[in-house]
């Protein structure tokens, strides 16, 4: 690395440093401590959870997961220059240790204390489907309002009890707005995360059939996501969709706060699209005023995501100009209804990141509207509880109803999807055979293919193979 680049890199690192006195960190951890806090001179450079990134002056939190225990790396981080550790047991090492009951909760306590030092607009995004897409849309709008460097946005989908604290710890003095995604799969998780984030605006995208193995009912999902509203300040705003089923629930949870609703003739809604030969033009109705959009995304559920993001941005003080600029600049998130390939003979839609019954149905509806022969490549849906057979049959039946012509399925549970879909559906025992047949099927004519499945199915492997195959064919033909 040349000297100029090294100096620039060092300057950027210094800008990221916390420079947070250890005594303040000790205060933040006071309710978690099992024994007296050590006296550590100086300031915390960074709070780290990855042993490979530790440098001199860092505070390292020894997290424990299903497959790892960071206490095993304590000696390594000490040798890397860590100033202190957060541990759940005292280690026989010559380094200052904050011994706590639960290191995950300790990480949250540190992040919460750090967040409270900043006076900025914080927008939280919760919901069953569309969180990451809505978060990115909202981030794009906020950046159009304030500038790229003035907005902190959750990276990827770091939305759990580790990812949210890690995001909060990236807050710096230049930030004017922050967009924080919060996810859950068990009761109580959103309530906990919202307590750390302390949002000014909460966007709730929807309540659908997610994590039913743990949440049991959709009403429980609606209440859990809506619990974020209870952490809003008096001048905060709850943003949620029009819903006959859950309106009363969300109104009750947002009592005393201002509210904005989106969809179905509400405060923010999408008017019917006007499609021309070049691109789709969509009109967003925002409190009676119209904002013209030229979106880079497809699907009615993405239009709903856009209206929710616009409403939340408005609640945070963004102008209509910023809403328009931000939504027009938004590019679909990888693996979430993303157009991965678009040639004269192949439209490939990558929706492989995750799946539940409602998101599969929404994707099938989009696919059924596309040109040419349509093929849904589907992997199993996880965490659907004891209704797995019913849900997998439902998505097969719905795909057929909305005009999908062919279904290729992978995984034990999708046998029910194939039976429900009927003619045109094939079940495969392994992904290699599935990929080979998909390639052969799509050789002739015009095809629209959508790939989807739960995270554990890793259906992006199909997308990657199809891109390589069809890109190679296109290059060979040219």
H-helix or E-strand spanning residue 310: helix 300-315
Q: How confident is the model at residue 470 (pLDDT cuts 50, 70, 90)?
A: confident
The count of other CB atoms within 10 Å of the CB of residue 396 is 27
Q: What is the torsion angle, in degrees rounded to the nearest 10, for the CA atoms of residue 49, residue 54, residue 57 and residue 63?
A: 20
Task: State CA 272 to chain mean position distance.
Answer: 27
Phi and psi based region of residue 201 (left: phi greater than 0; alpha: psi -120 to 50; beta: remaining): beta
State if pTM tops 0.85. Answer: no
Task: Yes or no: say if 341 and 356 are a contact pair by the CB < 8 Å rule.
Answer: no
CA atoms of 337 and 346, how far apart (whole Å): 15
CA atoms of 474 and 102, how far apart (whole Å): 55
State what percent of residues in the chain have pLDDT above 70.
Answer: 92
pLDDT, tens digit, 9 for 90 and up, residues 114-167: 999 999 999 999 998 889 999 999 999 999 999 999 999 999 889 999 999 999
CB under 8 Å to 220, separation ≥6 — which residues? 187
Q: Which of 39-48, 320-329, 379-388 has the highest mean pLDDT?
A: 320-329
338-477 matches 3-103 in CATH topology: no
DSSP-H helix ranges across 128-274: 131-146, 163-168, 189-197, 212-215, 218-226, 247-253
Topology of domain 3-103 in CATH is 3.40.1390
CA atoms of 190 and 13, how far apart (whole Å): 32
The domain 338-477: what is its CATH number? 3.90.190.20
Hey, where are the domains in the chain? 3-103, 118-329, 338-477
Dihedral sign (CA 454, 455, 456, 458): positive
The count of other CB atoms within 10 Å of the CB of residue 52 is 9
Supply the pLDDT for residue 185: 78
Does domain 118-329 sit in CATH 1.20.1050.10?
A: no
DSSP classification of residue 33: B
Angle between helices 460-477 and 431-441 (to 10 degrees): 30
Supply the pLDDT for residue 475: 46
Question: Is residue 210 predicted with pLDDT exceeding 80?
Answer: no
Mean pLDDT over the full length of the chain: 90
Question: Is residue 34 predicted with pLDDT exceeding 60?
Answer: yes
H-helix or E-strand spanning residue 179: strand 177-181
Token pair for residue 174?
Answer: 């230049």
CA atoms of 111 and 28, how far apart (whole Å): 9
Phi, psi of 393 (to 5 degrees): -70, -40
Supply the pLDDT for residue 469: 85
């Amino acid at each position: 690395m040349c000297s100029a680049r090294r100096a620039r890199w060092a300057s950027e690192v210094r800008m990221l440093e916390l420079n947070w006195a250890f005594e303040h960190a000790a205060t933040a951890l006071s309710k978690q401590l099992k024994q007296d806090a050590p006296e550590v001179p100086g300031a915390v450079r960074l709070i780290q959870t990855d042993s490979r990134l530790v440098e001199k002056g860092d505070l390292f939190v020894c997290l424990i997961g299903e497959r790892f225990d960071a206490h095993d790396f304590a000696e390594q981080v000490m040798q890397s220059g860590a100033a202190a550790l957060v541990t759940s047991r005292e280690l026989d090492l010559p380094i200052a240790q904050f011994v706590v009951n639960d290191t995950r909760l300790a990480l949250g306590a540190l992040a919460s204390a750090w967040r409270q030092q900043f006076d900025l607009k914080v927008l939280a995004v919760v919901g069953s489907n569309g969180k990451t897409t809505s978060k990115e849309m909202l981030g794009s709008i906020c950046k159009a309002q304030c500038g790229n460097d003035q907005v902190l946005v959750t990276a990827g989908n770091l939305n759990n009890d580790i990812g949210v604290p890690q995001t909060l710890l990236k807050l710096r003095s230049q930030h004017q707005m922050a967009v924080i995604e919060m996810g859950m799969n068990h009761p109580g998780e959103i309530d906990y995360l919202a307590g750390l984030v302390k949002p000014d605006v909460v966007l709730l995208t929807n309540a659908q059939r997610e994590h039913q193995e743990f949440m049991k009912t959709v009403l429980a999902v609606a209440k859990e996501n809506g619990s974020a509203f209870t952490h809003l300040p008096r001048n905060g705003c709850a943003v949620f969709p029009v819903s006959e089923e859950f309106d009363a629930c969300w109104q009750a949870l947002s009592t005393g706060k201002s509210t904005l609703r989106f969809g179905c003739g509400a405060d923010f809604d999408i008017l019917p699209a006007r499609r021309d030969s070049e691109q789709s033009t969509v009109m967003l109705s925002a409190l009676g005023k119209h904002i013209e959009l030229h979106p880079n995304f497809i699907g009615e559920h993405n239009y709903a995501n856009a209206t929710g993001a616009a409403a939340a941005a408005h609640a945070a003080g963004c102008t209509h100009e910023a809403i328009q600029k931000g939504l027009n600049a938004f590019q679909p998130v990888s693996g979430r209804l993303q157009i991965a390939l678009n040639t004269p003979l192949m439209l490939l839609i990558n929706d492989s990141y995750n799946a539940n019954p409602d998101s599969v149905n929404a994707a099938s509806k989009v696919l059924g509207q596309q040109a040419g022969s349509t093929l849904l490549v589907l992997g199993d849906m996880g965490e659907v509880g004891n209704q797995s057979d019913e849900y997998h049959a439902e998505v097969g039946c719905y795909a057929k109803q909305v005009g999908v012509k062919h279904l290729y399925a992978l995984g034990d549970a999708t046998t029910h999807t194939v039976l429900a879909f009927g003619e045109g559906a094939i079940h495969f025992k392994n992904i290699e055979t599935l990929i080979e047949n998909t390639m052969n099927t799509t050789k002739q004519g015009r095809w629209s293919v959508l790939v989807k499945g739960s995270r554990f199915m890793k259906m992006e492997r199909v997308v990657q193979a199809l891109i390589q195959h069809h890109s190679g064919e296109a290059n060979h033909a040219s």
